Structure 1
Amino acid sequence: MKTIIEPFRIKSVEPLRMTSVSERELYLKKANYNLFALKSDDVLIDLLTDSGTSAMSTKQWAGIQMGDESYAGSPSFYRFEHALKELAPFKHIIPTHQGRAAEKILFSILSDNKHDQIIPNNTHFDTTRANIESTGNQALDLVQQQGLDPQLDLPFKGDIDLIRLRDLLEAKGEHVPIVMLTITNNSGGGQPVSMENIRQTKALCQEFDKPLFLDACRFAENAYFIKLREVGYQDKTPKEIVQEIFSYADGMIMSAKKDALVNMGGWLALNDDDLAMKARNILILTEGFPTYGGLSGRDLEAMAVGLEEIVEEDYLNYRITSTAYFGKALDKLGIPIVKPVGGHAVYIDARTMLPHIDPHNYPGQALAIEMYRLGGIRSCEIGTVMFGQQPDGSEKLATVDLVRMAMPRRVYTQSHIDYCIECLAEIHANKNTLRGVDISWQPPMLRHFTCHFTPK
């Protein structure tokens, strides 16, 4: 049989509230055309993010009942720690309430009141970049050149450019405290990083005595792409591939709200004793005691089960196949998307789709607004709105203007996605009627979350 079906049954359902176009036009106006400001009750299909939006399994809900809420030394922590070390045997496991808390702790330690540091990565995501820049340091993207071309169909467009990384380490190595890789590369279209690139990055780090850290939010999806696309891994299990990935790393930051299938949680994992001591000191000040780190015991239990379920091959096959189904349908309609389709989201190349909208008028945001207006579909601009704001207050055009439709795990069925395809087909047919937007108000950083837009 070639048909891929969901490897689960639906046991509980949540009703969706149907709204009209005229109602959604009013909601947009009240939200200042920022989709983050919409009430979720007014959204029909919510593809804003895959973070924290997963449907948990019966085993996870059963685990929640076992959650032990002891302030220190909870058995729930040790179950979580054991589950994580089965995949990523780091010496120190430090839970946090979500990934950005782990980022804040890590970059606060690494900064140590220095303002001349450079943190290279294939591509930093928004909160990672902001947490680095908030310390006065530089977040540098070094994704390979092919990864910047949305239409280029290559298996591992998330790979870091090893030549540019070597040049950086040779010229300014004293200013580089760590090297990072984001797997999969979210801002670059959810593109995976090859095992060979991870291995060579580790070798380069060893040559220059630099620790390698992974932003590993979607590590299981990255591992499954390696299994599908990289020679020598077809007969490996996803768990074995994940274990090899983490064997090359000296530390990791993680939002468990992605590939741990939970609604809240994260962690910082380290091998360095001194960094771990400093991290736990900050953790106690800001998150909580090191065996709960801002989480309840039930959250830790759910993460432990999620870490076992995320490397199941049937789940990963369904996950990657269902996302590809969405992307291939849009490509067939002539809608330009980032190719190949990533694991957690489909990305529309809005700048290419809407060439009549000046990039300074944010074609990605214009398209995202129209998707909600017409179909009640909430998505996320990843382009100049998200990344164009500079620390000095100026604006720089992003390389591309994308609209990300992130797929919550185990939430929507094929008919929901078929509805999205139908909506986007209508938008594409009338795309020349779309107009851009201006930003009428913005905060000093991370403007995409709260800024106000005015239609042209």
Structure 2
Amino acid sequence: MARRIAEPYKIKSVETLSMLSYDERKESLNRAGYNTFLIDSADVYIDLLTDSGTTAMSDEQWGALMTGDEAYAGSKSWKRLESAVREVYGYQYVLPTHQGRGAENILSQLKIKQGDYVPGNMYFTTTRAHQEMNGATFVDIIIDEAHDPAVDHPFKGNVDIGKLQSLIDKVGADKIPYVCVAVTVNLAGGQPVSMENLKEVYELCKAHKIDVMFDATRCVENAYFIKEREDGYEDRTVASILKEMMSYSDGCTMSGKKDCLVNIGGFLAMNDEELYIRSRELVVVYEGMPSYGGMAGRDMEAMAIGIREAVDDHYIAHRIGQVRYLGQQLIDANIPIVQPIGGHAVFLDARAFLPHLQQEDFPAQALAAALYLDSGVRSMERGIISAGRNNETGEHNKPNLELVRLTIPRRVYTNNHMDVVADSIIELYEKRETICGLKMVYEPPTLRFFNARFAPLSENGELISEENRKMTIN
């Protein structure tokens, strides 16, 4: 029998959680328009909405907050962050931003011109929005296996080299400012990219003088999967694998709120001095001085420490292990999820979970709402709502994947919390036919998953048939 592994940390401080009754949750959900993003955190029991900025920082990070140098220029804290990025990731030039989308904004403005194409291994919402707002067309070049939640492929985040070559042949390399490679791929279910594939992409792009820019938000998790799944890396440290990974790129955007283990902040990194000089000018316009960007000195101190803590082999093994602990319980109960289990979240296959609903009935949104109603667990939709509308036709984009993301914050919850989540999902699955679809009653013009509002399609306005409800928390 495999030996169980405990958390590689001990708890110094606790935060009391809200445990509302069913009726209280129902009222909160109604106020939020059945959008989990609009539920007050005070009304949430276990919050799996996102792993972005929800990390529990270490005692060393909290202590470092008191040493932050808030100088307007030339901050000591900035020098420590710059040094950490250079040592751990290997990039020469670094610009701090308030978070990852600040880096996306600057990169998109500088690299993209009207009529360009930006290929990527599946889109991410804000990344694609910045690309399109600056005149580019996003082209999905991920392998086909990534669009099938049931396919068990070790590297479902891989770029399809044939698709990339076809796009280059079709539009010309001069129309492709860079290839955006996510490591790992969030909307595919937290799926990794192999080192072999990263090398192939980089070599192809260099042959055509196209830059490769990583969305490096969860790159440490990607490195761990390479260590586990790719021949020749099993005896390497995660830190050394990560350094090699990043060498097959020309730069990256980073949301520090994930694998850098902090609550706010990000950066844009690169090796091209000319791009760095141009980026530095835009940082001043949109973020702040190049030596702090959108971050306070104390946050840069915490991030510098978090960057190094994240590549500790014991930490990342537990982090991935906890996600698997939840996912395996669901697999054992025959709950349809994206397989293999990803690095930062377990993704429910809402189409298979609620087969009686059409995609236009927003099954992932309905399932996320039902989960909160059942147990106070907050998750999020990653499907037709997140995909938005076609800019030309105005019709819904209809992704193959209609998912509910159960995102595990780093160093926050114990496996007992995961048990509560699993129990709620299993009970919901048993009464899945009683969950109705939703209609959209308010739709914002962009990134609608943040602020859209919904209502149940049932005649009596109930999301879950009342006679079948089971209150997990009284």
TM-score by length of 1: 0.98
Alpha-carbon offset, residue 136 of structure 1: 2.5
CA deviation profile, 1:74-131 (whole Å, cap 9, x unmatched): 01001011111112222210000100000011101112xx320111110121100111
Q: Which residue of 2 aligns with 1:335?
A: 335
Q: Which residue of 2 aligns with 1:248?
A: 248
Alpha-carbon offset, residue 281 of structure 1: 1.0
Q: Which residue of 1 aligns with 2:363?
A: 363
Within a 5 Å distance, the mapping from 1:26-175 to structure 2 comes to: 26-111=27-112, 114-172=113-171, 173-175=173-175
Q: What CA distance in whole angstroms lies between the structure 2 residues aligned with 1:424 and 1:179?
A: 38
Q: Which residue of 1 aligns with 2:321?
A: 321
Q: Which residue of 2 aligns with 1:432?
A: 433
Q: What CA distance in whole angstroms lies between the structure 2 residues aligned with 1:260 and 1:295?
A: 14
Q: What CA distance in whole angstroms lies between the structure 2 residues aligned with 1:63 and 1:368?
A: 37
Q: Secondary structure of 2:119's match?
A: strand
CA deviation profile, 1:234-264 (whole Å, cap 9, x unmatched): 1100010011011111010000000000000
Q: Secondary structure of 2:455's match?
A: strand
Q: What CA distance in whole angstroms lies between the structure 2 residues aligned with 1:389 and 1:450?
A: 15
Q: What CA distance in whole angstroms lies between the structure 2 residues aligned with 1:420 and 1:399?
A: 25
Q: Match of 1:140, as an amino acid?
A: V
Q: Secondary structure of 2:187's match?
A: helix
For structure 2, list consecutive stretches of 5 or more residues without a partner in the other structure.
Answer: 458-474
Q: What CA distance in whole angstroms lies between the structure 1 residues aligned with 2:390 and 2:274?
A: 33
TM-score by length of 2: 0.95
Comparing 85-94 with 353-362, greater Cα deviation is found at: 85-94
- CA RMSD of superposed structures (Å): 0.9
Identity of aligned residues (%): 45
Alpha-carbon offset, residue 295 of structure 1: 0.5
Q: What CA distance in whole angstroms lies between the structure 1 residues aligned with 2:331 and 2:387?
A: 26
Check conservation: 2:382, 2:404, Cα contact below 8 A: yes
Q: What CA distance in whole angstroms lies between the structure 2 residues aligned with 1:135 and 1:102?
A: 14
Alpha-carbon offset, residue 135 of structure 1: 1.5
Alpha-carbon offset, residue 433 of structure 1: 0.5
Q: Secondary structure of 1:85's match?
A: helix
Check conservation: 1:100, 1:127, Cα contact below 8 A: yes
Count matched residues. Answer: 454
Check conservation: 2:88, 2:308, Cα contact below 8 A: no
Q: What CA distance in whole angstroms lies between the structure 2 residues aligned with 1:174 and 1:39?
A: 47
Q: What CA distance in whole angstroms lies between the structure 2 residues aligned with 1:74 and 1:8?
A: 31
Q: Which residue of 2 aligns with 1:344?
A: 344
Q: Match of 1:25, as an amino acid?
A: K
Q: Match of 2:120, as an amino acid?
A: N
Check conservation: 2:389, 2:397, Cα contact below 8 A: yes
Matched, 1:420 2:421: yes
Check conservation: 1:253, 1:268, Cα contact below 8 A: yes
Q: What CA distance in whole angstroms lies between the structure 2 residues aligned with 1:390 and 1:438?
A: 19
Q: What CA distance in whole angstroms lies between the structure 2 residues aligned with 1:141 and 1:21?
A: 41
Q: What CA distance in whole angstroms lies between the structure 2 residues aligned with 1:288 and 1:419?
A: 43
Q: What CA distance in whole angstroms lies between the structure 2 residues aligned with 1:358 and 1:248?
A: 41
Alpha-carbon offset, residue 397 of structure 1: 1.2
Q: What CA distance in whole angstroms lies between the structure 2 residues aligned with 1:263 and 1:132?
A: 25
Q: Match of 1:452, as an amino acid?
A: R
Alpha-carbon offset, residue 50 of structure 1: 0.3
Comparing 390-399 with 232-241, greater Cα deviation is found at: 390-399
Check conservation: 2:121, 2:185, Cα contact below 8 A: yes
Check conservation: 1:389, 1:447, Cα contact below 8 A: no
Q: Match of 1:134, as an amino acid?
A: M
CA deviation profile, 1:318-377 (whole Å, cap 9, x unmatched): 011111110010011111000000010000000111110011011000100000001001
CA deviation profile, 1:292-327 (whole Å, cap 9, x unmatched): 001000000000000110000001110111111100
Q: What CA distance in whole angstroms lies between the structure 2 residues aligned with 1:85 and 1:91?
A: 6
Q: Which residue of 2 aligns with 1:376?
A: 376
Alpha-carbon offset, residue 65 of structure 1: 1.2
Q: Which residue of 1 aligns with 2:467?
A: none
Q: What CA distance in whole angstroms lies between the structure 2 residues aligned with 1:174 and 1:240?
A: 34
Q: Match of 1:138, as an amino acid?
A: T
Q: What CA distance in whole angstroms lies between the structure 2 residues aligned with 1:139 and 1:278?
A: 24
Q: What CA distance in whole angstroms lies between the structure 1 residues aligned with 2:385 and 2:226?
A: 32
Q: What CA distance in whole angstroms lies between the structure 2 residues aligned with 1:88 and 1:411?
A: 25
Q: Match of 1:250, as an amino acid?
A: D
Q: What CA distance in whole angstroms lies between the structure 2 residues aligned with 1:232 and 1:163?
A: 25
Q: Match of 2:133, as an amino acid?
A: S
Q: What CA distance in whole angstroms lies between the structure 1 residues aligned with 2:114 and 2:455?
A: 36
